[in-house]
Amino acid sequence: MAHAYIFPGQGSQFSGMGKNLYENNPLAKDLFEQANSLAGFRISDTMFTGTDEDLKQTNVTQPAVFLHAVIAFKMLEGAKPDMVAGHSLGEFSALVANGTLSFEDAFKLVSIRAQAMQKACEVQPSTMAAILGLADDKVEEVCKNVQVQSGEIVVPANYNCPGQLVISGSVKGIELACEQMKAAGAKRALVLPVGGAFHSPLMLPAKEVLAAAIEATTFNTPICPVYQNIVAKAVTNPAEIKQNLIEQLTGAVRWTQSVQAMIADGATHFTEVGPGKVLQGLVLKINKEMVTVGFA
């Protein structure tokens, strides 16, 4: 019986996140204040009292979700994960939890990542869409067809669970793909309220910025494996972890495959640490026999 700790990504944020931790635990308060100093502004104030619109900005959302998840993990007394994983941004939280990255280094990388992604989003209009009720291979086929027919970029981005795959690309590419997904039998094809094509080739400018920062950062040997999005398998080699973290920015989040790999390697219990309960729901859709809990 193995215990997996999993960490959410962008989209799980909410106003007031982390306030209870700040007010009730001196260590949590100290970590929030460290983050405020590193960020150069009081990100804790935005988290605790900001509007949904304030929290939606990528350069705020990503460090805020990371911060909440990592501090929540540090409040878990005696937490000893057998394995960790994070959804997209959540992979950075997972790498703090298993000792690969220090809190300070990870926060700096997340901030650089968020700012670089924000800039990449401004270069070309792009978006994402959730495709529901269609097999993964059919979604992949439609994406390829749209790219060949139109020359527009559209790729699978997030393999969330069976029957739920998020695609990413140019605005025109996503529009065309959604039409074809519905024609192919998708129950729904919903354009998401995001300002960019995350996990697609359109994030290449951000990838180059992040790669330089990651290469300059010390990655330690972890205390347990991380199941990384891009490869969906256990990784412990710091050099491999670095490369996979860089590739994740333009590659797909293979969450379904990652959870399946953790289960194959013995995971029976999943604890989601951070804001929201999205990942618990996805785990149960992947395998309803798993035990899931959350801590925020």
Query: How confident is the model at residue 296, as a pLDDT?
Result: 83
Kindly list the distances between the CA atom of residue 235 and the CA atoms of 123, 143, 240, in Å, as whole numbers in the listed order: 33, 29, 7
3 is catalytic: no
User: What are 271's strand-pairing partners?
Assistant: 5, 293
In this predicted structure, what is the pLDDT of residue 194? 81
Q: Please report the pLDDT score of residue 58 as a whole number.
A: 80
CATH class of 2-121+201-295: alpha beta
Domains 2-121+201-295 and 124-191 share a fold: no
pLDDT for 79 equals: 85
- Is 199 noted as a catalytic residue in this protein? yes
Note the pLDDT of residue 125.
86
Digitized pLDDT (tens) for each residue of the chain, 296 residues in all: 899 999 999 888 999 999 999 999 999 999 999 999 999 999 999 999 999 888 888 888 999 999 999 999 999 988 889 999 999 999 999 999 999 999 999 999 999 999 999 999 888 889 999 999 999 999 999 999 999 999 999 999 999 999 999 999 999 999 999 999 999 999 999 999 887 899 999 999 999 999 999 999 999 999 999 999 999 999 999 999 999 999 999 999 999 999 999 999 999 999 999 999 999 999 999 999 999 999 88
Q: Domain residue spans in the chain?
A: 2-121+201-295, 124-191
Question: Looking at the DSSP assignment, which residues form a beta bridge with residue 126?
Answer: 170
Question: What CATH number was assigned to the domain covering residues 124-191?
Answer: 3.30.70.250
DSSP string, 161-205: ETTEEEEEEEHHHHHHHHHHHHHTT-SEEEE-S-SS-TTSGGGHH
Marked catalytic residue, from 3, 68, 87, 199: 199
Q: What is the predicted pLDDT for the residue at 56?
A: 82
Task: Decide: helix, strand or coil at residue 126.
Answer: strand
Tell me which of 88, 93, 111, 170 is the catalytic residue.
88
Helices (H), the chain: 19-24, 26-39, 43-49, 52-56, 58-74, 90-97, 103-123, 136-150, 171-183, 204-215, 238-247, 255-264, 278-286
What confidence score (pLDDT) does residue 54 get? 86
